[in-house]
């Protein structure tokens, strides 16, 4: 599916719309997805991940949010969270995130908590691995559940890892979402069947681990992350080898813990 032009609110479902921030890069794909959610007939809204402190984007987001009741953050990275203080001030809404310092006029969110706003129920799922504070939000919808995945699951490609063990546990957690759940990622297009994408991610991670094992066997146990990237990530644009090094370090740490 294609994103619209920047600055255009695009309805994705009966309860969710997305405003794409104009901040494309190798890390953000086409840009950051700022999500606006409300139940049919609800006057209030919930904004998830306002993006950078980009006033043009944030002003459009404030207009789209209308009577915003809450701003939620999936994690602390600036391309998701930096604009939250300005937006919260503009719309008069509290900000909730896992990290207390990101919150405004509200308590931090916790795994298993259910947040009710804009006529919707958001179940909070702690999904570390990309960052320690990464959260996903399962939005209860009788017809079709939605899951806001931040950078834990992207619209295409794979995410950069900080801890592979944590990440595999998060994939296990997300594998329990209902069949046919619609994935609403922090970057890239929406995902028609999140559980299927989670299975694909798990298979990819196992494949990469086996490739790293093979690289170590070929290059030696003292091979550097960069050497392993050049050996394993031949199918990836060299422009992305920097982020790939971070993932390789996470994989090496995971293999080291396995012994």
33 phi-psi bin (left φ>0, alpha ψ -120 to 50, beta other): beta
Strands 135-139 and 120-126: antiparallel
pLDDT score, position 20: 96
pLDDT score, position 1: 46
Structural tokens at position 124? 């909070």
Cβ(162)–Cβ(127) under 8 Å?
Answer: no
Q: Tell me the whole-structure pTM to 2 decimals.
A: 0.93
pLDDT score, position 142: 67
Rounded Cα gap, residues 138 and 127, in angstroms: 12
CB within 8 A of 146, min separation 6: which ones? Answer: 13, 15, 16, 37, 138, 139, 181, 182, 183, 184
pLDDT score, position 2: 55
pLDDT under 70: residue ranges of the chain: 1-4, 141-142
Cβ(133)–Cβ(98) under 8 Å?
Answer: yes
Strands (E), 113-185: 114-117, 120-126, 135-139, 146-150, 182-185
């Amino acid at each position: 599916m294609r994103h619209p032009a920047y600055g255009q609110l695009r309805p994705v479902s009966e309860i969710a719309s997305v405003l794409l921030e104009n901040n494309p890069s190798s890390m953000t794909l086409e840009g950051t997805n700022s999500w606006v959610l409300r139940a049919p007939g609800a006057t209030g809204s919930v904004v998830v991940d306002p993006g950078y402190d980009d006033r043009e984007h944030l002003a459009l987001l404030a207009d789209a949010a209308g009577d915003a009741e809450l701003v939620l953050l999936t994690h602390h990275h600036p391309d998701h969270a930096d604009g939250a203080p300005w937006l919260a001030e503009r719309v008069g809404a509290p900000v909730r995130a896992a990290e207390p310092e990101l919150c405004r006029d509200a308590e931090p969110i916790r795994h298993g908590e259910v947040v009710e706003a804009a006529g919707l129920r958001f179940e909070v799922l702690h999904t570390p691995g990309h960052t320690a504070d990464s959260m996903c939000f399962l939005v209860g919808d009788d017809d079709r559940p939605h899951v806001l995945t931040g950078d834990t699951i992207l619209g295409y490609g794979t995410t950069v890892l900080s801890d592979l063990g944590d990440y595999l546990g998060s994939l296990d957690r997300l594998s329990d979402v209902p069949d046919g759940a619609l994935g609403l990622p922090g970057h890239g297009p929406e995902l028609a069947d999140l559980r299927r994408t989670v299975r694909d991610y798990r298979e990819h991670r196992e494949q990469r681990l086996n490739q790293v094992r093979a690289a170590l066997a070929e290059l030696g146990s003292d091979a550097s992350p960069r050497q392993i990237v050049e050996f394993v990530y031949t199918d990836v644009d060299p422009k992305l080898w920097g982020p790939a090094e971070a993932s390789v370090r996470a994989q090496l740490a995971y293999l080291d813990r396995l012994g």
